[in-house]
Amino acid sequence: MAELILFNKPFQVLSQFTDDRAGQPRATLAQWIKKPGFYPAGRLDYDSEGLLLLTNHGALQHRIASPANKMQKTYWVQVEGEISDDAIGQLCSGVELKDGLTRPASARRIAEPEVWARVPPVRYRESIPTSWLELTITEGRNRQVRRMTAAVGYPTLRLIRYRIGDWTLDGLKPGHFRLETIHLPDTPPAGKQNPRKAKPGRRTTNRRPSRK
């Protein structure tokens, strides 16, 4: 048994509980989550929004965050300009970045999603249109989505993570979280583990909603 927090991280919040940078302090998870023993399973950039998972169980944290498990992550991305078919194709086939070629992704145009207003809002430029796409990747490189869209000619203006594996943002307002209980499968004996087959634990239907 393990517990998992699904948190809708607001814009400009660190995905950690302390800020080690000197000077003006930045918002951290401690402002919203008061449950000791929970730690992020992966991270989400300061200037990105959306789903962040936290758990009090080391094995579950590893299953979610380990690059070897190739867990899918889906983002809603607002980019500068009307993204072209060619750019979509490049994102799907892999984009050459400074740290190498990205794995093939799933990318498609979407209508502007019905999401909360960002504070502060994205800068509006009348002469330059924007568009939205849904991008699903299986890697976790530093600022990967932003670098991918910039590499194909469409800088990211707003980035919202909607899904990690089977977990989504559905029903969560910014700054709110939901607590779920997870049944983890039995751990194979030492030397018998196959990271390619590792999957997140099964969720129970007994959910305990939490306030922010």
Q: Which residues are catalytic?
A: 45
Closest by alpha carbon to 163, among 79, 106, 84, 92?
106
Could you give the CA distance from residue 37 to residue 56 in angstroms, rounded to a whole number? 5
State residue 17 phi and psi, 5-degree precision. -95, -10
> CB-based burial of residue 95 (10 Å sphere; 0-12 exposed, 13-18 middle, 19+ buried)?
buried
Distances 44 to 16, 54, 188 between C-alpha atoms, Å? 9, 12, 30
Write the single-letter amino acid at 53: L
Q: Are strands 49-55 and 156-164 parallel, antiparallel or unpaired?
A: parallel
Q: Is 81 strand, coil or helix?
A: coil
